[in-house]
Structure 1
Amino acid sequence: MKKFSIVYKNWNPKEQNHREAICTLGNGYIATRGAAEESGNTEYNYPGTYLAGGFNRAKTEISGRTIENEDFVNFPNWLCLNFRPTDGEWLDLERFKVLEYRQTLNMKKGVLERNFRVEDAEGRKTHIHSCRLVSMHKKHMVGLQWIFRPENWSGKVEFLSALDGNVINDNVARYRDLESHHLVSHRTDLSQDQIIQLSVQTKQSKITMAQAASAVILHKGKPLPADIETHQDEGRISQVFSTEVKEGNEYAVEKTVAIYTSRDVAISEPMQEACKSVRRAGSFAEMLREHTLAFETLWHRADIKLVDDDKNQLLLRLHTFHILQTVSPNVIGVDVGVPARGLHGEAYRGHIFWDELFVFPFLNLRFPEITRSLLMYRYHRIDEARYAAKEEGKRGAMFPWQSGSNGRSESQVLHLNPESGRWIADNTYLQRHVNSAIAYNIWNYFLTTGDRKFLSFFGAEMFLSIAAFWASMVIYNAEEDRYEIHGIVGPDEYHTAYPGSEEPGLKNNAYTNVMTAWVMQKALEILEIIDTRRKEELLQLLEINDMEILLWKEISHKMYVPFIKEGIINQFEGYEKLDEFPWDEYREKYDDIHRLDRVLENENKDPNNYKASKQADVLMLFYLFSVDELHLIFKKLGHEVNEDVIVKNIEYYRKRTSHGSTLSRVVFSWILLKYNQLQSWQNFEKVLVSDFEDIQGGTTAEGIHLGAMAGSLDLVQRGFLGLEVGEETLWINPHKLDHIKEMSLKVNFRSHWVLVSISGRNLKIVFEEGHKDKLKIGVVNDICEFHKGIPREFSLA
């Protein structure tokens, strides 16, 4: 495997759905799965195309209830390209004899290449080299090129180019009982200069998408004469180009497509813009050159070089590649969030969860302007969050666990267990800790960038609104002189209620309570940071008075944190009373128990009864905060948290976690780094292969796990390299790692670019550029001054 290329050396239809997700091409605006362009939606091929923010709502009758879901719409298939000899069959790799096949995802250039030879029923052999791109330079442009060579035949051939709007949402098997038709055909048309046009609209959200395409056949760089037939059907338009080809000659078939929607800015009408862009596009080679240069710029900022073995380096780049394709600079100023499964499939319906908590640390240090734009997705939905809080009888803003188009709660009420085939109640919407995650993201964006303007006008309003929400959520326990939170669910989704209870929710989830205390502490600090006038404006706007601020101070010191014994934090009040789970028995009984909740429900058992967690819950605290930060948070709460307490908690919960979420391995790798380097590294490598090897058995085909991918990069930069953004400066304190020979990366700290590299026990730091000539950086235990362009080296022996 080359360090910038994923290569598949054979045609394996049964692996195609997985490969499609891995080989998705996107530019932040739109993405298309790596499906075969000559095939439509089949058992082994799913050419999904997704628009950032492209949602539609639909209702379904299920289990005697009417359920409304907001789905991530599969938009028209622009890929369609095929051929046949006039007297033969259309190319179909599932029916033709495949003589050779090689598929390459070239991440450095951002292109997907397929190189294959086929033989039809008449013995005619044909070689095709396919190359496609989704332009990072011009976000509305996509393109496809075939280099076509008949090897042992000559004669008349037909090439088919089409735009197909007859698509449904069919990527996730467990959603197939739900309404999947989201598009209505608007119109098809053909221009005088042979540009085919397809316009569709989503049924409920009324998003119009226009696609315009032109195709040309070239021989030796010149257009080849061809007869063209155009066919217009309901929701589909196609062209058939008939021409003569000769044995051994090469022909280039180029398809150029422009995609616009009614969500776009600075346009007149989507189809008019699409046709204009196709006419101005130039050749495929020109599009490729511009696209490659755009990727070169991104890699210059984003690449993390890791020398241990080629596979780990390659997978780090795969993760970087998919982050850049999902949240590229093309999202800046666009009203979109961070979809948990990227723009790569329909799992989670494209919804925005808390995964941005794992994505933003990578972006903050390279593309802070992207983070800022993504945080504005939350700000634009603050009124909906305020309404949700009011409906619950609370104050402030209550952001939903799952968010989509307008910020209402899109969390499922029912979900299908594919193990049992039963629809069961879903209470995970009670994960109110997403509010604290948003606050955490605001604060850490500010620390990394020093962007006071954002903090003062947008960040502070969101942060203080979240603090007001938590203040209205707490219940004062006079007997304990502590504040409590009831009726919520923590990050561990296996526990949503007490055993035998019909009421959902738990008391005093430790993670949620500690994060609430932290939010209060930082809200008070933000009030001191922002200008006096702005502070007065916000307090008046949010109706926060002196009594409220006094309450925040009390909560920050008196939030209840449950403990089991000997410094072990109780995941939630009553967790200690649950039964121990027979891990060895179930590991022997089943090949895979990652999704233990589904296994148990299939056996008519309830995971609420057991000390078994889906993912890190209490341990998330040790992931988000350093030991010193935790010490201060808990000290204010009247508790002692030190290294010994952390080790005890890691050991306690490590034995009781199934890692049903890919994010869990990220957290465990992080927290084990200081205490068990081998286990930390094993978890890190598990994160790296989680999507590439599809370790959860079929989930990657439904979309990659963006948070886990970003988490692996954060493990390198903040974990292994020891980067820590402090309130005053950037700190670099690398861990002593046996598994890494060399690593290097660039980071942007408050508009200053810094190159950090390690070779053996030698640390090299270069302040490369910025608006100052000098920069202070904390190295291990000392603050050092760096001059622009002058490298400094430090021994880590």
Structure 2
Amino acid sequence: MTGRPDDEWLLRYEGYDPADEPLREALCTVGNGYLATRGAPPEARPGGAHYPGTYVAGVYNRLASRVAGRTVENECLVNLPHWPAVTFRIDDGPWFDIDTVHLLEHHQTLDLRRAVLTRHLRYRDDRNRVTTVTQRRLVHMRHHHLCFQEVVITPENWSGRLRFRSELDGRVRNTLVERYRDLADTHLEPVGTSGPAPDCVLLEMRTNRSAIPLAMAARTALVQGSEPIPATIRLRSAPDRIALDLTAEATPGRPVTLEKTVTVVTGRDHAISSPADEALRGLAGDRHLDDLLADHEQAWRHLWERFRITVEGHPDTRRIVLLHLLHLLQTISPHSADLDVGVPARGLHGEAYRGHVFWDELLVFPILNLRLPDLTRALLRYRHRRLDEARAAARRAGHIGAMYPWQSGSDGREESQQFHLNPRSGRWLPDTSARQHHIGLAIAHNVWQYHQVTGDREFLIHHGAEMLLEIARFWGDLAVLDPDHDRYVIRGVMGPDEFHTGYPGAESGGIDNNAYTNVMAVRALSWAMEAYAALPARERGELSERLRLDPTERARWKDITHRMFIPFHEGVISQFEGYGELAELDWEAYRSRYGDIHRLERILEAEGDTVNRYRASKQADALMLFHLLTADELLPLMARLGYPLDPDTIPRTIDHYLARTSHGSTLSAVVHAWVLARAHRERAVDFFFRALESDIVDIQGGTTAEGVHLGAMAGSVDLLQRCFSGLETRGGHLALNPFWPEALGTLEINLRYREHFLRLRINGDRVEVGSTDGSHQPVRVICRGQTAELRPGATVRFPL
């Protein structure tokens, strides 16, 4: 990647290296929250350096596979037909293949401001003909079914027949992730193809088990300047693909432009008669390309006005922040609000984790809450619609309440794999990640934080309180009173760490009293009781009757919030009970032997050992408490439980786990930057830059090519927004307690709090908060003990 201070809105790549293409294709994905398409060249076929991929949010399919002698099922986000497919040939020569010509130039640019991908190249073929090729692609942000691919061919020293092939190619499978390649991967079956007009083709397919119909329609034209040029057109079709061959005469110095407009529609869409009809209707009319581009750019301009973040004096930092926001908005946008979808951990950018929804919304929602809270609300509805499935899962496990799945897809059942492949050993191993029941605690946190930021009582009354109460019921039931501790304990779970699946000798039974889980369970019970009390009397009575919630159960919750067991060892909070009895790992020896030890558990398993024997973490676990809870929340909670923390407990705990973490997850750098921000600002900044670099340089060596890490991208932005600024939204006011690193210069950021649209400016000297004009009520702003009332159209300033 290269860039200059004057083009911070451009992500540039110079030259062509097949080894770099998988990463570039993920980072150059273009999308609009409904669908996204990887940055593979239009002429590319799967295999080798390239992987064309298009994904529509929520389009999943389930297939059975034989793994380790057993039949298992996996639900996957489906790779849809390759709509950008365009290639060309000169006279009767070979179809263009970048890997067989002599490249003279190659530049690729992703315009972050407009989400437009451009590729420019010059090449010489085996007959010494020099040709310039410029390709441009976008997925429309306003008209979310609409996509556009442009290919411009300019002969430099030759003339002849130029033949294009513009195709909708349904010969696609889910084969991006190498470790999944033993699994079934063919998710689509053809329905039909047709050519409803000389310049138009239609491809219809459906998923072969979930039976979701989909249609793509494409209109293709050849122009010079703005005028159509004479061309012969020939239709080619097969059951799973359809193409137009367009042939025209080309002369030196005169560009020939192919314009391809595509519509993508599925049976999950609202207000359609059929996907095929809607796809063709979407191509109808006389839409001029310039007007479509203007609409697309305007939609993005409106989004960037809401999501404006400037780090003055740091163009490279700002460019990556913009890239992270771009990919967030290409995965989750206003179009997502009506789709019944969650937040896929790897975006709509690839097939890692099979497109499943984990807990990454924990890091995404703080960005949306303060800009597009209605979108957060819609994404929380994804969880509420699957509440019945979470209740059923709890019942099957012998509990009451709601047990949300660690991995979720179409219908809310547990989608975590039963076996996973260790690429180092080649062995398929039992996967116990479904024990990460703490996902329900993250959902409860998200519901409560949304309520705190927005004050949305309607959501709390009709959706949020029910979720909080059912999640609380599960944890209230899972906690049992242990006579040895004379406290409540929670056994047989997995924490956020993910390395520890059980105790040595009992590898898959889970661990007991994970500190993060126990503390967050206390918080979830408290939120549920607070939400219950906040409901209007009628709604409270109706909900209590519907859930059969009696005073005895609520009294038990209150008791748990005073008597939950929290483990400690050596003066620090234990990751889980028994952690202090595990062996220490020789970290330097393993770094010396392997270099990259991010995935330490794979290394140890390949050696015949197990990470369960060691004080070793993949990512932050106990430290997540200091990330999600402020000192004002955590210290009183611990004191109420009978564990008053002395001033050194938190820094001791941070140092203890910092020395014992492999950072095998991109989320780890975000959390460590957060917890170090107060006491070790320079180290926090180091972790901040590590979080920024997670995907742009692919620090995990190949994982970004399988899909971006959306949680880490959003989390790196939130470090600027809330961590270093000390921004909190609690108690109906806005609080700021900046520990702003001087090395980052000045932060300028646009936010929305309640009805106020705010402009926040922070540097090492002062804080400014300005509000736009309006008729809304003033908001109270607190900064390091100073309080001011912020009225519409006014600005308040606080010296630091």
Scaled to the shorter chain, the TM-score interval is over 0.9
Match of 1:4 among 6, 9, 16: 9
- Report how far residue 539 of structure 1 moved: 1.1
Could you tell me which residue of structure 1 aligns to residue 727 of structure 2?
Answer: 723
Q: Percent identity?
A: 44
1:661 aligns with 2:665: yes
**How high is the TM-score relative to the length of structure 2?**
0.98
Match of 1:623 among 623, 627, 633: 627
1:699 aligns with 2:692: no
Could you tell me which residue of structure 2 aligns to residue 265 of structure 1?
Answer: 270
Could you tell me which residue of structure 2 aligns to residue 146 of structure 1?
Answer: 151
State the Cα deviation string for residues 193-243 of structure 1 (Å, max 9, x = none): 431010111111111110000100111311111110111112010110011
Could you tell me which residue of structure 1 aligns to residue 438 of structure 2?
Answer: 433
The equivalences for 1:671-750 within 5 A come to 671-750=675-754
Could you tell me which residue of structure 2 aligns to residue 173 of structure 1?
Answer: 178
State the Cα deviation string for residues 161-183 of structure 1 (Å, max 9, x = none): 00000100011000000000111
State the Cα deviation string for residues 230-287 of structure 1 (Å, max 9, x = none): 1111201011001111111122210000000000000111111111111236233222
Distance 2:442 2:319 in 1: 30
**Amino acid in the other structure paired with 2:488:** Y
Distance 2:339 2:35 in 1: 12
Mark the CA change 1:637 to 1:266 in structure 2 (over 3 Å): closer, same or farther. Answer: same
- Report how far residue 421 of structure 1 moved: 1.0
Distance 1:639 1:99 in 2: 68
The equivalences for 1:47-196 within 5 A come to 47-196=52-201
The equivalences for 1:273-312 within 5 A come to 273-280=278-285, 282-312=287-317
Contact preservation (8 Å) 1:161, 1:215:
yes
Contact preservation (8 Å) 1:517, 1:556:
yes
1:649 aligns with 2:653: yes
**Amino acid in the other structure paired with 1:592:** D
Could you tell me which residue of structure 1 aligns to residue 601 of structure 2?
Answer: 597
1:517 aligns with 2:522: yes
- Report how far residue 514 of structure 1 moved: 0.5
**How high is the TM-score relative to the length of structure 1?**
0.99
**Amino acid in the other structure paired with 1:607:** V
Contact preservation (8 Å) 1:256, 1:284:
no
Could you tell me which residue of structure 2 aligns to residue 320 of structure 1?
Answer: 325
The equivalences for 1:405-444 within 5 A come to 405-444=410-449
- Report how far residue 122 of structure 1 moved: 1.2
Could you tell me which residue of structure 1 aligns to residue 583 of structure 2?
Answer: 579
State the Cα deviation string for residues 462-505 of structure 1 (Å, max 9, x = none): 00000011111111113422111111100011100100115521
- Report how far residue 642 of structure 1 moved: 4.9
The equivalences for 1:374-413 within 5 A come to 374-413=379-418
State the Cα deviation string for residues 359-386 of structure 1 (Å, max 9, x = none): 1001100110110000000000001000
Match of 2:216 among 211, 218, 223: 211
Secondary structure at 1:504 match in 2: coil
Contact preservation (8 Å) 1:630, 1:641:
no
Match of 2:343 among 330, 338, 362: 338
**Amino acid in the other structure paired with 1:247:** P
Distance 1:760 1:675 in 2: 16
Contact preservation (8 Å) 1:396, 1:542:
no
Q: Which deviates more, 210-219 or 279-288?
A: 279-288
Match of 2:491 among 486, 495, 510: 486
Q: Which deviates more, 197-206 or 769-778?
A: 769-778
**Amino acid in the other structure paired with 2:30:** L
Superposed CA RMSD: 1.1
Secondary structure at 1:332 match in 2: helix
**Amino acid in the other structure paired with 2:243:** S
Could you tell me which residue of structure 1 aligns to residue 768 of structure 2?
Answer: 764
Could you tell me which residue of structure 1 aligns to residue 616 of structure 2?
Answer: 612
**Amino acid in the other structure paired with 1:307:** E
Contact preservation (8 Å) 2:475, 2:521:
yes
**Amino acid in the other structure paired with 2:771:** F
Contact preservation (8 Å) 1:627, 1:643:
no
State the Cα deviation string for residues 385-439 of structure 1 (Å, max 9, x = none): 0000000110011000000010000011100011111101111110010000000
Distance 2:693 2:373 in 1: 27
Size of the aligned set, in residue pairs, is: 795
Distance 1:759 1:586 in 2: 41
1:636 aligns with 2:640: yes
Distance 1:773 1:357 in 2: 29
Distance 1:773 1:451 in 2: 16
**Amino acid in the other structure paired with 2:244:** Q
Distance 1:584 1:606 in 2: 18
Provide structure 1 residue ranges, at least 5 long, that are not aligned to the other structure: none
1:17 aligns with 2:22: yes
Provide structure 2 residue ranges, at least 5 long, that are not aligned to the other structure: none
Mark the CA change 1:503 to 1:37 in structure 2 (over 3 Å): closer, same or farther. Answer: closer
**Amino acid in the other structure paired with 2:624:** M
Distance 2:496 2:740 in 1: 31
Contact preservation (8 Å) 2:61, 2:208:
yes
Distance 2:670 2:647 in 1: 20
- Report how far residue 553 of structure 1 moved: 0.4
Contact preservation (8 Å) 2:67, 2:419:
no
Contact preservation (8 Å) 2:311, 2:318:
yes
Distance 2:683 2:318 in 1: 19
**Amino acid in the other structure paired with 2:422:** N
Distance 2:775 2:472 in 1: 35
State the Cα deviation string for residues 51-91 of structure 1 (Å, max 9, x = none): 10111000011111001000111010001111111221111
Distance 2:482 2:762 in 1: 52
**Amino acid in the other structure paired with 1:447:** Q
Secondary structure at 1:280 match in 2: coil
Q: Which deviates more, 49-58 or 532-541?
A: 532-541
Distance 2:484 2:509 in 1: 25
Could you tell me which residue of structure 2 aligns to residue 232 of structure 1?
Answer: 237
Contact preservation (8 Å) 1:580, 1:611:
yes
